[in-house]
Amino acid sequence: MPSTKYIFVTGGVTSSLGKGIISASLATLLQSRGYSVTIQKLDPYINIDPGTLNPYEHGECYVTNDGAETDLDLGHYERFLNRPTSQANNVTTGRVYQSVIEKERRGDFLGKTVQVIPHITDEIKNRIKKLGNTGEFEIVITEIGGTVGDIEALPYVETVRQLKWELGEDCLVIHLTLVPMLAATGELKTKPTQHSVKSLQESGVQPDILVCRSEHALGEDIKRKLALFCNVKKDSVIESLDAETIYAVPILMRNQKLDEVVLKKLDLPIEDNLDLVNWKDFLYKLRYPKHEVTIGLVGKYVELHDSYKSIVESFIHAGAANECKVNIRWIHSESLNIETTEKHFDGLDGLLVAPGFGERGFEGKLETIRYARENDIPFFGICLGMQAAVIEFARNVLGWENANSTEMDKECAHPVISLMEEQKKVEDMGGTMRLGACDCELKEDTLAFGAYKRKTISERHRHRYEFNSEYLKDFEDNGMIATGKNPDLGLVEIVEIPTHPWFVGVQFHPEYKSTVANPHPLFVKFVEATITASKAK
């Protein structure tokens, strides 16, 4: 069996240049040529995972099928490649050090002094090779978080140096950098890239390919200059201009022949079998929509749009599937009350109440749901959004003024949302929620069944609190029905109001499973409902 090839993607000059998108775009091109590819992220922070991080700190926490709480870049990997990732696809410094320290406590190192080299770098190396050793992938792309020169990233860069030496032609390094234009002179400046590459070289790593982010075309002279000063071939200087959508980046990278340069350097066949027909069809529908709707996204972290990254991307996928441009109106739930809803919701075709934790802004979410329910506006509630829908219904339809979740009020008279039994003894916050993929059985002749078109589905979870089934009969007798349940535990997963045009709340996170190739069916149907609502105005 041929050896697995490893590609490392590093970044320089500044953060947020798009290492994740470049990694996902390259993987898409290689996959479209028939290669089996996966991507992993090495994160320099010392948290074990982003599960306990506030979304303002690090954006969305993405959850995999196997229950790993991971970096949001893994969402990009799945959305582009249409294949699930796992715990092995996200490595943090915290997890690396935790593993090494546990080995030291067990005596695995036989009394040796435990050091960054070789013990930490060996641990990183093992985690990089773990995916390659499965035999499932021909190419493993590893994105290194942060920026070259950061003290936190040094062990990862050192590991790349060692692997480059060990793997030889089975390994290459792509360095993503910035070529800015100075407004005063109107010139593109290569010096930041030169310094970034020099910093990488000082750590013993010579990049094989430069991907240069710029707002302006580089031109042959700039490419020649960068090749000369950075010790790379001119055809390995890849221009990466700003794109109108991240989903255009694979096409831009194809035009720059990034995939061909990579395959040539890895000594892999370049066959004329690149298949991007479906990808181009998706882009066409995205660029030339026949409809346009505006959906209100109500949440408590709306200042940082990355907090809801997967939801935003799911709307893009579902919009393209419906040949519809979906505009999002970001609405902070703390700004909502009975007096302000008319102003905030004017002109909206649908409302989505986003996931979250804690009581800040919760009353605003309840007011959103009341407005959507009473005014027949298509509504979609996710996780806490579904729980809020249950509480709003209990208060305003069943007449239980003190109905609540025990997350918000432990002593409430009607705990229609309550802590799961196995969660009551949990003390540690990290990695202890209901996490990962669980089955759900759907009732026929419901909105959920109409979307999925099958009886059994599997969706990803990230929560502690559940619908309190003791109250289910009261809800169903008054018009809110449970249309999806976990077959093993009997837990309510989906609620609907059949008399409403489109009112669905789900306990799981459907946004985690939406991809370019397979837009999530609930988002597709929700957008379809908003188009119908828009036409009815």
Instruction: Tell me which residue has tokens 């090494």.
Output: 100
User: What is the helix (H) or strand (E) element at residue 253, kind and residue range?
Assistant: helix 249-255
DSSP 222-241: HHHHHHHHHT--GGGEEEEE
Q: Which residues pair with 329 in a beta bridge?
A: 296
b/e sequence 311-347, b meaning 16+ C-beta within 10 Å: bbbbbbbbbbbbebbbebbebebeebeeeebeebbee
The residues, any chain, with a CB within 8 Å of residue 202's CB and separated by 6 or more, are none
Residue 498 DSSP one-character state: T
| 3-state class (DSSP) for residue 459 | strand
Taking Cα atoms as reference points, which of 98, 444, 23 lies closest to residue 250?
23
- Is 463 a catalytic site residue? no
Cα angle, residue 104 at apex, residues 101 and 105 outer, rounded to 5°: 90
Catalytic residue among 61, 230, 383, 440: 383
* Tokens read off for 259: 């995939």
Q: Which residues pair with 481 in a beta bridge?
A: 496
- Residue 347, by phi and psi: left (phi above 0), alpha (psi -120 to 50) or beta? left
Strands ordered across the beta sheet of 291-299 = 324-332, 291-299, 350-353, 379-382, 503-506, 492-496, 481-485, 434-442, 456-463
Q: Which residues, at least 6 apart from 415, have a Cβ–Cβ distance to it below 8 Å?
A: 403, 404, 405, 406, 468
Where residue 481 falls (left for φ over 0; alpha for ψ -120 to 50; beta otherwise) is: beta
Is the bond preceding residue 180 a cis peptide, omega within 30 degrees? Answer: no
- Active-site residue 383, yes or no? yes
The residues that bridge with 403 in the sheet, in sequence order, are: 414
Residue of 78, 367, 493, 511 with catalytic role: 511
- In SS3 terms, 327-368 reads as EEEEEEHHHCCCCCHHHHHCCCCEEEECCCCCCCCHHHHHHH
Which residue among 466, 509, 520, 528 is the active-site one? 509
Residue 332 bridge partners (DSSP): 299
The Cβ of residue 277 has, within 10 Å, a number of other Cβ atoms equal to 9
- Rounded to whole angstroms, how far apart are CA atoms 336 and 356? 16
Beta strands 37-43 and 90-92, pairing class: parallel
Active-site residues: which are they?
383, 509, 511
